[in-house]
Amino acid sequence: MRVCKDAEETNIRDVEETNIRDDEGSHLLEVIDDNTVLVLPMSLKPKTIDLQTMTIKTIFQGRVCDRCKLYKMTNDGKEFICISRGRRNIKVYSTTTGKVIKIHKSPADKDLRIDDLFINKSGSTIVAKADETFIIFDIVNDKTCTITPKDLKMEVLSKVAAVCPNGNHAVLSACKIETTEEWESEPIGFLWNVQTEKSLQLVDSVYHMKYKRIDSPLSVALDEVQFLDDEKVVSAHDDYIIRVWDVESGKLLNRLTGHSKQAMLTVPHDGPYFLSYGFMDEEVIKLWDRNNLKCLASFKFDTTLRKLHFCGDNETFVTSTDNPVNIVHWSLHGGGHTSKAIKDYPKLQRKNYNIQLEIETEEDMAVEPDDPDTDPEEPEDSEEECSDLEY
């Protein structure tokens, strides 16, 4: 069984395309469908572009936050979720109409500024990190709760978090500054039940004691976490081991070994596989079976990966590298697996476009009286931006 390149490495310079970055630095946020992309001009007013006509399709209502341009797409690209202008609330757009559908407000008694977002595919549960507080928005039941380090019997929150596909659970992370228990001095996971508002620790105490006994530099500190499905959660740790946990009980189900460095996880919403990428000089990707947790194939790169994404079929995936920029499409062959090869997809049409599209206009800065986002922007002398755009 092997992972195969379905085509020769394609240098991106060989594919002629329309440049949708304006002189001021607009950003491509998301490909909504085969004909539509979402962009964010420097005016901070999202817009969609029709790729067939190369015209502005939809101009969104209001503007996004200047200091925290985080966003998430939900409901199969039908909704665009971002932070309100003052970073206090969550704003939900329709990508079809560009109108604000809903604004989910943080608790009124707390002046919290959101700096990170974690959302499930349907958008039914949103976890926002704001300073030293996690805010959980239960959209289905119209409830909001806040979680502080004290609630987890910890001292500092970490930025690692994830939301279960059905929205009933989330994994949060926190640590202690000074503690007699070594695992608590670095981030550990907490499985939070959204309905009962109770938590379970996700700690591999066996390996913690093992490292402590032999005075190892390795630790079980949490690096990344994602849900495989409604029943299992997968996490990557400082000891280069990937662990799988039971969602209901918090029990450790499996340890996936093979990486020699810290690993990043790529888990599609659906499909039979997930990926891990060992970086920091290892440069190895491993393809895992989502059900039996077996490693199906691995591949070592000669250079650092820039991006690693599953395709829309949730079976094949694409990698990209810098210097030179190469994009490669991968699929699994052998062992009864019949991933669709790239030759089976419609061929890309290579066309030259010389279209000047004015993405940003003076009207973008005009105040809209019907804009439901009334959260005032932060003063210019407040702290610096919390995050760059997420690509």
Q: 127 in a domain, yes or no?
A: yes
3-class secondary-structure state, position 162 = strand
> 236 in a domain, yes or no?
no
Residue whose token pair is 């907490």:
190
Q: Is residue 159 part of a domain?
A: no
pTM equals 0.84
For the chain, give percent helix, strand, coil, nearest 5. Answer: 5, 40, 50
CA atoms of 126 and 149, how far apart (whole Å): 19
Question: Distance of CA 234 to CAs 163, 187, 224, 274, 343, Å?
Answer: 12, 15, 8, 10, 33
Question: Is the residue at 384 inside a domain?
Answer: no
DSSP 8-state symbol, 306: E
Residue 104 lies in a domain: yes
Per-position pLDDT tens, the chain of length 391:
334 444 333 332 233 333 444 444 567 678 888 889 999 888 889 999 998 888 999 999 999 988 777 889 998 889 999 999 999 999 999 999 999 999 999 998 888 999 999 999 999 999 999 989 999 999 999 999 999 999 999 999 999 999 999 999 999 999 987 555 555 568 999 999 999 999 999 999 999 999 989 999 999 999 999 999 999 999 999 999 999 999 999 999 999 999 999 999 999 988 999 999 998 889 999 999 999 999 999 999 888 888 898 888 888 888 988 777 788 888 877 655 656 655 666 665 555 666 677 888 888 888 888 999 999 888 766 555 554 444 3
Query: The tokens of 154 are what?
Result: 């910890």
The boundaries of the domain holding residue 33 are: 20-147
Q: CATH number for the domain including 46?
A: 2.130.10.10
Q: What angle do CA 226, 230, 233 make, to 5 degrees?
A: 30
Integer Cα distance of 253 and 245 in angstroms: 5
Q: Is 379 within a domain?
A: no
| Domain count across the chain | 1
CB 66 within 8 A of CB 82: no
116 inside domain: yes
CA 59 vs. chain centroid, Å, equals: 25
Calculate the CA 38 to chain-centre distance.
17
Phi/psi for 96 (5° steps) reads: -80, -45
d(CA 91, CA 116): 13
Rounded to whole angstroms, the Cα distance separating 228 from 236 reads: 13
Please indicate, yes or no, if residue 179 is contained in any of the structural domains. Answer: no
